[in-house]
Amino acid sequence: MMRNIVAGNWKSNKSINESREWMSEMSNLEGSMPKDVRVIVAPPAPYLAALAEVKPSNVILASQTVSATGSGAYTGEFTADMLTSCGVEFALIGHSERRGGYGETDEVVVDKISRCIEAGLGVVLCCGEPLEVRDSGGHEEMIARQLDSAMNNLSDVDPSKFVIAYEPIWAIGTGRTATSEQAGEMHTFIRSWLSDKFSQERANQISILYGGSCKPSNADELFANANVDGGLIGGASLKTEDFSQIIKAASK
């Protein structure tokens, strides 16, 4: 299984027509894309079923969120099974914008992960520290706490369906990127946490993505770290020109 992944998170952006246009541009670029990078994109949920019909074969669809429950009386929620039935293969879980703004607590993250695993939906588990934690030197401890909590119930994971994204909150949408050194340190820390939790072999199979103002101009440097397996890309995933350059940078 290849570890290199570039995942796009469109957040609440694009119309359905713009989304279709993005897929058609990616289809045109398909032949020039590296074969050793998995490409994932998370469009707004209302477009997912339609985009599954038109996406190029090398693009994997993700949802930006998923319900922590199964089917039933949960107005407005959509379940992991609903997503897989629409051709969606991954869900982002624990994104800082969900943790911060929509009550996605550690407990909710645990529930969402189990729903995904039950449904066979892949997980992109996001973790990251706010600026004050970074400044006071508590970042490793905080990430360990987030991972401990999210994966407490898991004795193993399928590395083709479980991805970790390290996203320092101070770098998301701010234009302020972690330095290559800061990213490298945290990714090495996460790899070793995974090795303690599972095994060195399993840890080596799990993709760890960097997220936070990653763009064509800094992707090479960030991805040069042995433990940075690619990126979770917000703003720079909206244009295929930028996104495809970042995909090329993730080829190792």
CB 163 within 8 A of CB 122: yes
Let me know if 167 is a catalytic residue: yes
Which of 224, 227, 226, 225 minimizes the C-alpha distance to 249?
224
Which one of 159, 168, 184, 234 is in contact with ligand PEP (CB under 6 A)?
A: 234
Q: Considering the complex, what minimum distance in angstroms separates the CB of residue 38 from ligand PEP? A: 17
Q: Which stretch binds ligand PEP (CB under 6 A): 101-109, 156-164, 166-174, 191-199?
A: 166-174
Residue 73: Cβ-neighbour burial (10 angstroms; 0-12, 13-18, 19+): exposed
Dump strand ranges (E) for 20-111.
Answer: 38-42, 59-63, 90-93
Q: Considering the complex, what minimum distance in angstroms separates the CB of residue 72 from ligand PEP? A: 30
Question: What does the alpha-carbon distance between residue 43 and residue 13 come to, in Å, rounded to a whole number?
Answer: 8
Q: Is residue 235 a contact point for ligand PEP (CB under 6 A)?
A: yes
Let me know if 187 is a catalytic residue: no
Q: Is residue 167 a contact point for ligand PEP (CB under 6 A)?
A: yes
Q: Is residue 173 a contact point for ligand PEP (CB under 6 A)?
A: yes
Question: What does the alpha-carbon distance between residue 99 and residue 106 come to, in Å, rounded to a whole number?
Answer: 8
* Residues contacting residue 4 through CB under 8 Å, at least 6 positions apart: 34, 36, 37, 38, 207, 229, 230, 250, 251, 252
Q: Is residue 230 a contact point for ligand PEP (CB under 6 A)?
A: no
Q: Is residue 125 a contact point for ligand PEP (CB under 6 A)?
A: no
Q: Give the C-alpha distances (Å, rounded to integers) separating 234 from 82, 171, 175.
A: 24, 11, 11
DSSP class of 165: E
Which one of 213, 225, 240, 244 is in contact with ligand PEP (CB under 6 A)?
A: 213
Q: Which of 95, 129, 139, 187 is catalytic?
A: 95
Q: Which is nearer to ligand PEP, 147 or 172 (CB)?
A: 172
Which one of 68, 150, 172, 206 is in contact with ligand PEP (CB under 6 A)?
A: 172
Q: Which is nearer to ligand PEP, 128 or 184 (CB)?
A: 128
- Which residues ranging from 8 to 67 are in contact with ligand PEP (CB under 6 A)? 9
Q: What is the largest CA-CA distance in the chain?
A: 48
Q: Is residue 182 a contact point for ligand PEP (CB under 6 A)?
A: no
Q: Which of 97, 129, 167, 187 is catalytic?
A: 167
Q: Considering the complex, what minimum distance in angstroms separates the CB of residue 222 from ligand PEP? A: 11
Q: Which residues bind ligand PEP (CB under 6 A)?
A: 9, 167, 172-173, 211-214, 232-236
